[in-house]
Amino acid sequence: MIIYLAFVDSEADKVLFERIYKRNYKKMYCVAKKILHGHEQSEDAVHEAFLRLAKRFERYAGLSEEKMEALCVTITKNRAIDMWRKEQHLAETDMDTLRLYQPDDRSRIEQVVEQRELSRQVIEVLETLPEVLRVTLELKYYQEYSNREIAWLLQISPKTVEVRLYRGRKKLEELLWSEE
């Protein structure tokens, strides 16, 4: 905590940052854990997210609690995805794991590789979407919020959430098919 507070100027902002940390840490950790699966990596992602938030805290200090929560989750998710991407370049340990499979497991290996490639493509294309569509899709499918929760977090109507999800899925589908 002391590391983060070193980047925050005023005492009032330090108190506010500490409250934001306590309120959002668990949620941010869960988001990172869903993407990275490892405890240490998830903690690293949350740590880096809080560092980024602390360094730019004067910009964000005036946000409402809901928007601050959404910001914290988004920063963590983006950092975790970056970390996940770096891991996806098959490391030697992954190659050792693949070598353990018997020849009859070849189709399983191919499925794993295809699934990783598809996940990588979806994440790349998702980042090209307009922010309102991307954030809505991420809240729905990565963070598993209901439409009502998304509406509350983004301070929009549930119908607007449905429209954004529909448009986002359509645009994502178009972009994925155009890459093939």
pLDDT tens for residues 35-83?
888 899 999 999 999 998 888 888 888 888 888 999 999 999 988 888 8
Percent of the residues in the chain that have a pLDDT greater than 90, as a whole number: 24
Task: Over range 128-142, report the average pLDDT.
Answer: 86
The answer, yes or no, to whether residue 154 has pLDDT greater than 90, is no
The structure's pTM equals 0.51
Query: What tokens were used for 6?
Result: 């070193």
Task: Over range 21-26, report the average pLDDT.
Answer: 93
What is the predicted pLDDT for the residue at 162?
95
Phi and psi at 131, nearest 5°, equal -55, -40
What is the predicted pLDDT for the residue at 141?
82
What is the predicted pLDDT for the residue at 165?
92
Query: What tokens were used for 87?
Result: 């891991």
Cβ atoms of 101 and 108 within 8 Å: the answer is: yes
Strand segments, DSSP code E, in the chain are none
What is the predicted pLDDT for the residue at 180?
53
What is the predicted pLDDT for the residue at 43?
93
Task: Over range 122-142, report the average pLDDT.
Answer: 84
Contacts of 18 (CB under 8 A, 6+ apart): 1, 5
Task: Over range 137-161, report the average pLDDT.
Answer: 87
Task: Over range 164-180, report the average pLDDT.
Answer: 84
Q: Distance of CA 131 to CAs 74, 92, 168, Å?
A: 11, 36, 10
What is the predicted pLDDT for the residue at 94?
52
When pLDDT is cut at 50, 70 and 90, the band that residue 110 belongs to is low
Residue with tokens 């098959």, as numbered in its chain: 90
What is the predicted pLDDT for the residue at 92?
46
Between 123 and 135, where is the model more confident? 135
